[in-house]
Structures are given as C-alpha cells and as structure tokens.
Amino acid sequence: MLNDFKQFLLRGNVVDLAVAVVIGVAFAAVVNALVADILTPIVAVIFGQPDFSRLTFSINDSTFFYGDFINKVFTLVTVAAAVFFFVVQPMNLLMQRMKKEPPADPTSKKCPECLSEIPLEARRCAFCTSQVATA
C-alpha cells in the first residue's frame, strides 16, 4: 500500500499540479499587489476615494454594506484587466512572434543522389553532375 501511495505521489500529474498551485499562489500575490498598490491609487486620483466599504444604507435596523460589494466587484474587474493586459496580451504577442511562418514557394529542390540544394529548373546537379528531372 505504501508503494502505491509513493507511485501516486511521484506520478507526473500530481507533481505538475503541485507546481501549478504554488506558482498560481505566487502569481496571485503579484497580481493582487499590482491592483492594490498601482491600480487602486489611480482610481483614488480619479474618483477621490479608493475605498467604498463605508458606503451603507439601513432599512428596518438592517444595514446593507453595498460599498463592500462595490469594492469586491472593482477588485474582480481590475484583477481581470491586469491579467488580460499584462499577461494574456503580451503572451499572445510573444506566441505570435514565435510562430513559424509557412515556407514560401520553393525555389530549389534536393538532388536525389547527393541531397544538395539545386534550382528547380536544373537538369543536372552542379555538385555530383547526376541528371535530375525538371519540376
């Protein structure tokens, strides 16, 4: 039974998942710091108040903290915007640049005898002088 547990733990999926969770937690801390330390003060400059949690209203001795809800929605939107503009968009641009372009129309072919590159219209290889069929 211990061997089965050891095999389960050392399987690639479990280790990959553990690494993903650790990286995800660290990444979440970075994104939350970006939102709290940079984006929220920008909102404070525009609207004059970065924290809406004090906004409330009361009905029949019940207090509704709608400002806290506004804070949570704002945090969700700014985290999503930060991830999109600072992670997703740059990664898409990077992946697009790394993408291989399809090869253009070939202007040469390989000699069947010596495998050297020769022009498509060549009838004889310049390297081994063997006859080659034209394209």
Q: Check whether residue 94 and residue 118 sit in a common domain.
A: no
Q: Check whether residue 66 and residue 115 sit in a common domain.
A: no
How remote is the C-alpha of 132 from its chain's centroid?
48
- Is the pLDDT confidence value at 12 over 70? no
For position 46, which CATH number holds? Answer: 1.10.1200.120
> Tell me, what's the pLDDT at 89?
92
- Pick the range with the lowest mean pLDDT from 8-17, 21-30, 69-78, 80-89: 8-17
Prediction pTM value: 0.50
What does the block give as tokens for 12? 């690639």
Q: Fill in the DSSP letter of residue 95.
A: H
Q: Check whether residue 17 and residue 67 sit in a common domain.
A: yes
Task: State how far the Cα of 25 lies from the Cα of 21, in Å rounded to an integer.
Answer: 6
118 is in which domain, residue-wise? 106-135
**132 — phi, psi (to 5°)?**
-130, 140
Q: Check whether residue 93 and residue 51 sit in a common domain.
A: yes
> Which residue type is seen at 129?
T
What is the number of domains present in the chain? 2
